[in-house]
Amino acid sequence: MKFSSPVSVQWLASFIDAQIIGADNVLATGINEIHKVEQGDIVFVDHPKYYDKCLQSAADFIIINSKMDAPEGKTLLVSENPFEAYCKIVKHFRSFEPATELISNQSAVGEGTYVYPNVFIGHHVTIGKNCIIYPNVTIMDHCIIGDNVIIQPGAVIGSNSFYYNSKKDREVWYKKMPDCGRVIIEDDVEIGAGCTIDRGVSHDTILGKGSKLDNMIHIGHDTVIGKNCLIAAQVGIAGVTTLKDGVTLWGQVGVSKTLTIGENAVILAQSGVSGDLEGNKIYFGSPVQPAREKQKELVWVKRIPELWEKVMGK
């Protein structure tokens, strides 16, 4: 999330009761979790295992629970509980706004767009021109929808991310990270009935121009889907995943988190993707392999009883 205007590190330190190590006359421009940090951002770290990753990231401001020298160009904000400090900042700049009507008067709907009855549109939503939003669609706060978009009945755009801070030395093991990201749907996208698209934790979930989603698809937080992708029914995509332009996922494909699928890759039905894939290839299986290799393997597996009988002389 980017702040509406830069925030001084002195104010931040006072707000979260933190000690400054490093530059103290600088301005933060946003806040992000580690997978999406950019220059000018604040990030938090509360475990030594991840100290180096955060200190070497693009973030300029690190909320941390240990005193140490600040790397050049970085500012440390030393706090007893970095997670709670992070949450306090997010809730301050993206505070909860209760809804009192089905379509918020703080949102904008473009010319030629038709919104069916029983659609909910939250605060600070922008919808472009010539869209069709079918009944029982829910579009939560801060979502951005382009022109010529079709959203079929029952879809939920901008639901909360499935993202938790986990510590097993406390009574509640999983504490929810408050969301301050968005969903951005570009022009000419179609979203099928019953799809659920989670907002980014602190950045954006993006559906690229011209992409088409069938029914009952789940898109996880901070996932970026490229232009002209085709996704069939019952696909599940975990968080912080990238699909490059032209990717096709057939029915019931499962895609794990924090990976990239290259341009024009095709994943055949019921496959499981657990790591990065090169583009311009067809894949099948769980875990996926190039489809022809996997199909040859299945042929040999089918012949095992026959081969066993030959070996045993039966």
Q: Are residues 134 and 250 in the same domain?
A: yes
Q: Is 221 an active-site residue? A: yes
Q: pLDDT: is 154 or 312 the higher one?
A: 154
Q: Which CATH number goes with the domain that contains 132? A: 2.160.10.10
Q: Are residues 24 and 163 in the same domain?
A: no
- Decide if 98 is inside a domain: no
Q: Are residues 229 and 119 in the same domain?
A: yes
**Tell me: the pLDDT tens digits for 131-172?**
999 999 999 999 999 999 999 999 999 999 999 988 888 899
Instruction: Say what the pLDDT of residue 169 is.
Output: 86
Q: Are residues 167 and 18 in the same domain?
A: no
**Tell me: the pLDDT tens digits for 5-37?**
999 999 999 999 999 999 889 999 999 988 899
Long-range contacts of 218-225 (CB under 8 A, 24+ apart): 219/195, 220/161, 220/162, 220/257, 221/161, 221/162, 221/163, 221/179, 221/181, 222/35, 222/36, 222/161, 222/181
- Decide if 102 is inside a domain: no
**Tell me: the pLDDT tens digits for 208-264?**
999 999 999 999 999 999 999 999 999 999 999 999 999 999 999 999 999 999 999
- Decide if 300 is inside a domain: no
Last residue within a domain, chosen from 62, 93, 124: 93
- Decide if 307 is inside a domain: no
Q: Are residues 140 and 190 in the same domain?
A: yes
Q: Would the CA dihedral through 50, 53, 58, 61 be positive or negative?
A: positive
Q: Are residues 68 and 142 in the same domain?
A: no
Instruction: Say what the pLDDT of residue 114 is.
Output: 98
Q: What is the DSSP letter of 48?
A: G
Catalytic residue, candidates 35, 142, 218, 221: 221
Going by their DSSP bridges, the two strands 150-151 and 174-176 should be labelled as unpaired
Mean pLDDT (whole number) for 194-205: 96
Closest CA to 114 of 158, 140, 149: 149
Instruction: Say what the pLDDT of residue 167 is.
Output: 87
Q: Are residues 252 and 116 in the same domain?
A: yes
Closest CA to 213 of 201, 223, 203: 223
Residues in contact with 4: Cβ distance below 8 Å, sequence separation at least 6, in sequence order = 93
> Where in the sequence is the domain holding 78, given as residue range(s)?
2-93
Q: Are residues 172 and 35 in the same domain?
A: no
